[in-house]
Each structure stands twice: as C-alpha cells, then as structure tokens.
C-alpha cells in the first residue's frame, strides 16, 4: 500500500514521501496562481478550482487568499463560498454540501499528529474526514477539526472550535463548540 493509499484510508502514513510532496507542491502552485489572479478573472478562477478540487458544483466562489494541501480531497456542491483566508488541510476528504457559506479566516484541518513526542517527531500522521452538510453557514475564524460532521441547515458561530459532530438544524458556538439553539424549519 502506498503512502497516498494509507493517507486516504485513514491509516498512519509518511507525508514526506516524494509522491505526497509533489502533490502538495502542485496544489500550492495552483493556489498561488488562483490567489494572484485579478479579482475580475472569475472564469479563470473557477477553472483553476475545478482542476484543483476533486468535485465542484457549477457555482463556486473563493476569495483570496485560499490554501489547501492537496485539493483532490476537497468536494463541494452548488453555491459554495469561502471568504478571505480560507485553509483546507485535506489529507482526508473534506466534503461541503450545497449552499455552504464560510466566513473569513476559517480552517478545516483533517491531519492528526501523534500525542507522544517520540512518535510525533517521526513526522508520521493520520487523517480523518470532515463533512459539512447542505445549507450550512460557518462564521469567521471558526476551526473545524478532524473527523467532524456538521449537519444540514446549521450555523457555526464566529470563533468556534468544532471538536465534535454538530447535528442538523442548530446554532452552535464556542470553544469547544456546543449547541445553543435549535432552528425551526
């Protein structure tokens, strides 16, 4: 099994092998190209995102600056928007549903580094996927951690650190993020 296959399977893998370093370099070059395009170059920006991401809807908008690790592990539906300074560390799948709106300075982090120092300094890591349901709004400066699912129609308050799954139809805020209100549909 290759290190890429291990990474995708959620097993312990070495991110420093040439195959993964080359994939990250390719994604970072595409992000740099994207971030440096003029604001009015929407067609070109969309084309880059469609090449970079594993799957996109027709309508996608991401404000600069945007960064990701691989790109091919990111999937998004229709009407997808990320405000300035979005970061998606997609060592595992990161799936965004339809009508997802993400505020500025948000991060989605799938990588997990070992707790024990002697294991951590080997650079080995694992990753868990993140799933964001349809019609979700995530406020600015939120952080979504590995393995989290955010349910449909939910709102994540600004500055939240989402460490556990959030159900459908709720407002959740804080560090750690907790449900504070149910939304009547």
DSSP string, 74-100: EEE-SSEEE-SSEEEE-SS-EEE-SS-
* CA–CA separation, 97 and 53 (whole Å): 14
Per annotation, catalytic residue among 29, 50, 51, 113:
113
φ/ψ of 172, rounded to 5, equals -130, 140
DSSP assigned state of 184: P
Active site annotation includes 113: yes
**What region does 72 belong to: left with phi over 0, alpha with psi -120 to 50, or beta?**
alpha
Task: Tell me the CB-side half-sphere exposure of residue 96, using CA atoms within 13 A.
Answer: 29
* CA–CA separation, 30 and 160 (whole Å): 29
Query: What is the torsion angle, in degrees rounded to the nearest 10, for the CA atoms of residue 129, residue 112, residue 85 and residue 152?
Result: 30
Active site members: 113
């Amino acid at each position: 099994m290759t290190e890429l296959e291990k990474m995708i399977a959620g097993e312990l893998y070495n991110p420093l092998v040439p195959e993964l370093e080359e994939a990250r370099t390719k994604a970072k070059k595409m992000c740099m190209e994207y971030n440096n395009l003029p604001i009015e170059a929407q067609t070109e920006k969309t084309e880059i995102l469609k090449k970079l991401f594993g799957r996109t809807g027709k309508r996608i908008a991401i404000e600069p600056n945007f960064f990701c690790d691989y790109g091919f592990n990111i999937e998004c539906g229709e009407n997808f928007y990320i405000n300035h300074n979005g970061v998606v560390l997609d060592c595992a799948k990161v799936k965004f549903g339809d009508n997802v709106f993400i505020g500025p300075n948000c991060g989605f982090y799938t990588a997990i580094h070992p707790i024990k120092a002697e294991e951590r300094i080997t650079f080995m890591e694992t990753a868990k996927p993140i799933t964001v349901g349809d019609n979700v709004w995530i406020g600015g400066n939120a952080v979504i951690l590995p393995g989290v699912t955010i349910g449909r129609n939910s709102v994540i308050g600004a500055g939240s650190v989402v460490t556990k799954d959030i159900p459908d139809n709720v407002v959740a805020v804080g560090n750690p993020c907790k449900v504070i209100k149910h939304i009547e549909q």
